[in-house]
Structure 1
Amino acid sequence: MSAFPPAAAVRAQGEHGDGHASLPRSAAVRSGPLGGSGDIGRWLAGQRRSAVMDVRRVPLEDLAGWRTDPDTGDLVHTSGKFFAIAGLDVLVPGAAVERWQQPIIDQPEVGVLGILVREFDGVLHALMQAKVEPGNCNGVQLSPTVQATRSNYTRVHRGAAVPYLEYFQDTARHRVIADVRQSEQGSWFHRKRNRNMVVEVAADAPDIAPHPDFHWLTLGQLHDLCAEDNALNMDTRTVLSCLPFVGPALPELLGPGRDAFTGALLRSCSGTAGGRYGMTEVLSWVTEARTRALSEARRIPLREVAHWRRGDGRISHESGLFFDVIGVAVTAGGREVAAWSQPLVEPCDDGVVAFLAKPVDGVLHLLVHAKAEAGFLDVVELGPTVQCTPANYTALPAAARPPFLDEVLGAAPDRIRFDAVHSEEGGRLHHARNRHLVVETAEDFEPDHPDYRWLTLAQLSQLLRHSNYLNVQARSLVTCLHSMTTTTPT
């Protein structure tokens, strides 16, 4: 049985639907125990110089501790734990591409992504880890306090214990600010979920001395890092998105906004002005989209996956597009285990994730897509307006090109309100990056498509209190939008 308490049984010390006043106060503070943004940059640069991790590509057949199942061809760990590379057969009637097959990461375990927070001198700080993952494009990125699969925290690898895990296993003395299971990329993972947690340490708890790779940072400092390429890892961004960064006090605590756009953004977060659609309408729309979706996805043996080949030590699509499955051998210092081997999914190119945004009666609304993905547990989740790897569409029918991609890529510079490249999960994906964009569109822009609707940030925050409503790309962009309420223009 898991050592973690069931989410529904966690002792909640107050509901946070109307916001948590310490969050915007922390977001307004740009210095902490580590100093200002320049000091954080220097610390991270030092961590990257001193990080000890060697990642060497090896053929899949040479991965130590992994084997090819003789019956299915699936690539599995000899322990039967961690994850496997399996096959998936997908049917989407009526789509531009109605059927395809692909390799998929099968990881049924629910991991924990947890950020520990505590007040210092009345300001909430988050305990963050400078962590290197084998798939990171730049070595060290800022990760949550705890980032561990069940196989990791139950120590299947016979390695060291995960630091600070006990605060997320036993929350009885502390305050749970966020606790919800969320999905990962539905195009690469089969029904993968992680428990996203933010736990505030009890005021009378003993001091917590950070390990050498950890530091206490304010939300304002984390928001500043959002604007930097490949600084906050995906797990940090998804956990931060689950914070109840909402409520009528936001404009009072953070100010009216530096311009009309951020003013509308703050009102969108506050929730006081409502949205174009009520929450009952939004929930009904999502339910209808899930009911209407006719897609089917079933596990098949990896050796039966059509149009993919295993050769030269990797698994690749015959077109050379989409992604490869590669093998790496890793040696690392400061990790629970010092050396291991594993497969990684390597995308063929960088992707784009973007929200089109516009004010409606002075409140910023985001164009949200009810998107079906093969690996989702509940068929459809809400994604950004655009979510794709443009290079892949050279091999697909013109009808498959995502709606609104041209509006995003062709946006005038003065319409681009946020633009940064962020990495995806480096423990399973190799150099996977997405350009994150928020593009302001004309107020009279009204798409006529049943799978798209204008929602406010406060509405997205309400949905984020529940599982399987916002996909990981949308959650990442929500964190970027929250960061825009306090960061200065670049």
Structure 2
Amino acid sequence: MNTRRTPGPYGGRRDGSVTPLDLASSAAARDGMLTSDEATRRRLVDRFDRAAPMRVTRRLLEELEGWSLHTDSGRIRHESGRFFSIGGVAVEMPGADVPFWTQPIIHQPETGVLGILVKRFAGVVHLLMQAKTEPGNRGGFQLSPTVQATRSNFTGVHRGRAVPYVDRFLNAAPERVISDVRQSEQGTWFVRKRNRNMVVEATDEVKVLDGFVWLTLGQVYRLLAEDNLVNMDARTVLACLLPSGPDPGVLLGDGHGFRGALVRSGLPGSRPLHGTDEILGWISRVRSMTEVSVTPVPLGDVRGWRWEGGRISHERGRHFDVIGVRVQARGREVVGWDQPMIAARGVGTAAFVVARIRGLLHVLVRTRVEPGYADVAELGPTVQCGSVWSGRPEPPFFREVLGAPADRIRFDTVLSEEGGRFFHTRNRYMIVEAAPGEVSEAPGFRWVTLHQLSELVRHSHYLNVEARTLMACLYSLAARP
């Protein structure tokens, strides 16, 4: 007997698999396998914070065990030749505010897997989240995807234990794959770094290992409002899950006000200010007309940076440092290692300015050109900048975001960037609603709806990692009671 497959909003799958309406119901669920009281930061800390302790100490770059400056390439590399390396790049962008510069950058050509396993319990979709401690985390464990692994990890290059649950993603039946798309990471710190963002449904019994927990989507969204709790890898996968239904009421909205406009913004068939084809053409023009040259150079040829005191720093104290750490861990695939890391200076800012247009909440996005992107430009937040100015002009809308009155700030949380490569590196993620008619489109910016963003995120290299975090934050606002 043949099983008929029908195309759904996430591609062709069997009837009965997870739909946006199922996700909306999960987003509205305060209780699941854990009660709302159990799914709090305090209770999760009591449950997990002592389970996998990690000790991280600073170490001079020259003394990192297993790492050295490779004389031929001029990069800091691991002796295996795998994992990642840190080298230099020379960047030319004619016509940009800064047309030429050099900098250290991470080279990691492998495509890793970031995957969340979902399963129904009593009809409610749950997400299997991992309480994972990374060397760069600030404040202990963070909620991570079910699987968060580089190719070196899941192919056993580190000679450690196998990555739990990874086979459920690498060998997933096509009809159970809800989302599967390669996405970029920070283009200012990585050269063409991509990860496979996946969501896979389990229909069989799943043994819950130590350090893992089933949470509803609504519980994860509430935890997203906590500083430094839901990690970057989880946030980018959450952006692939649009909870939606046939009417705004499915997400507890009353159809009016901010949340009503937000929920309608995520529905198909709405009338955005700009059509999706127009947005795609705009991105294509930017990519075609922007000249970018990125040339690898040895670390010794990176101008404006100096290697002294066991770290690499900008000579004016800007941007970031390259530091070394020694890690001792328990409950990991490997119990101890050394590695270099990027440590940003201060807390950056990433913000969406939003406005109600035609009864729909629209998001103001801009095209960003960064040296590490695979295809020149991606859409980023309205405002995205570090905490230490580098001589460039102040970003548009920066003062409007930081000076917004409290009743216009819809989301405001400090969240950590990926703790496996970045040491205590954080951004303040904000969603700020503009007053009617207060913000107009500046060159390089466009108003888009949440549904348009959800269409773009189904494809590679359209939305950068900071924009994807803010998408997850918008979803969480729609689900709040």
Map of 2:200 onto structure 1:
199
Q: Deviations over 1:169-203 (max 9, x none)?
A: 1112751111000000001011000000000013x
Residue pairs, 1:21-420, within 5 angstroms: 21-46=21-46, 47-172=48-173, 175-202=176-203, 205=204, 207-246=205-244, 248-249=245-246, 251-257=248-254, 260-389=257-386, 391-393=387-389, 395-397=390-392, 400-420=393-413
Separation in 1, partners of 2:331, 2:198: 24
Deviation, 1:335, is 0.2
Q: Deviations over 1:79-117 (max 9, x none)?
A: 010000010111111222111100000000000000000
Which among 425, 447, 452 is matched to residue 454 of structure 1? Answer: 447
For the 8 Å contact 1:23–1:245, the answer to whether it is kept is yes
1:96–1:124 distance in 2 versus 1, CA, 3 Å: same
Q: Deviations over 1:304-331 (max 9, x none)?
A: 1101111100000100111000000101
The answer to which of 168-177 and 127-136 deviates more is 168-177
1:15–1:452 distance in 2 versus 1, CA, 3 Å: farther
The 3-state SS of whatever aligns with 1:13 is strand
Cα RMSD for the two superposed structures: 1.8
The 3-state SS of whatever aligns with 2:109 is coil
Q: Deviations over 1:119-174 (max 9, x none)?
A: 00100001000000000011100000000000000010100000001110111275
For the 8 Å contact 1:11–1:172, the answer to whether it is kept is no
Deviation, 1:12, is 4.1
Separation in 1, partners of 2:247, 2:77: 48
Separation in 2, partners of 1:28, 1:48: 27
1:11–1:381 distance in 2 versus 1, CA, 3 Å: closer
1:462–1:145 distance in 2 versus 1, CA, 3 Å: same
1:212–1:174 distance in 2 versus 1, CA, 3 Å: farther
For the 8 Å contact 2:52–2:330, the answer to whether it is kept is yes
Separation in 2, partners of 1:295, 1:15: 46
Residue pairs, 1:438-477, within 5 angstroms: 438-477=431-470
Separation in 1, partners of 2:19, 2:118: 16
TM-score, L = length of structure 2: 0.94
Map of 1:3 onto structure 2:
none
For the 8 Å contact 1:257–1:485, the answer to whether it is kept is no
Map of 1:4 onto structure 2:
none
Separation in 2, partners of 1:121, 1:297: 52
Deviation, 1:427, is 0.2
Structure 1 residue runs of 5 or longer lacking an equivalent are: 1-9
1:34–1:19 distance in 2 versus 1, CA, 3 Å: closer
Separation in 2, partners of 1:293, 1:173: 38
AA at the equivalent of 1:137: R
Q: Deviations over 1:35-62 (max 9, x none)?
A: 2144442342122244310101100011
The 3-state SS of whatever aligns with 2:49 is helix
Separation in 1, partners of 2:228, 2:406: 22
The 3-state SS of whatever aligns with 2:13 is coil
Separation in 1, partners of 2:408, 2:37: 27
For the 8 Å contact 2:28–2:251, the answer to whether it is kept is yes
Deviation, 1:445, is 2.9
For the 8 Å contact 1:127–1:215, the answer to whether it is kept is yes
For the 8 Å contact 2:27–2:243, the answer to whether it is kept is no
1:99–1:136 distance in 2 versus 1, CA, 3 Å: same
For the 8 Å contact 1:257–1:266, the answer to whether it is kept is no
Q: Deviations over 1:339-379 (max 9, x none)?
A: 01100000011000001100001100000011111110001
Map of 2:5 onto structure 1:
none
For the 8 Å contact 2:28–2:252, the answer to whether it is kept is no
AA at the equivalent of 1:156: V
Separation in 2, partners of 1:107, 1:95: 26
AA at the equivalent of 2:216: T
Deviation, 1:431, is 0.5
TM-score, L = length of structure 1: 0.93
The answer to which of 82-91 and 448-457 deviates more is 448-457
Separation in 1, partners of 2:356, 2:103: 40
Separation in 2, partners of 1:300, 1:96: 22
Structure 2 residue runs of 5 or longer lacking an equivalent are: 1-9
The 3-state SS of whatever aligns with 2:388 is helix
Deviation, 1:449, is 2.6
Separation in 2, partners of 1:195, 1:279: 24
AA at the equivalent of 1:253: V
The 3-state SS of whatever aligns with 1:484 is helix
The percentage of aligned residue pairs carrying the same residue is 51
The answer to which of 416-425 and 437-446 deviates more is 437-446
Separation in 1, partners of 2:215, 2:248: 22
AA at the equivalent of 1:152: N
Deviation, 1:257, is 4.0
For the 8 Å contact 2:184–2:373, the answer to whether it is kept is yes
Deviation, 1:71, is 2.4
Deviation, 1:34, is 2.3
Deviation, 1:486, is 1.4
1:401–1:88 distance in 2 versus 1, CA, 3 Å: same
1:126–1:39 distance in 2 versus 1, CA, 3 Å: closer
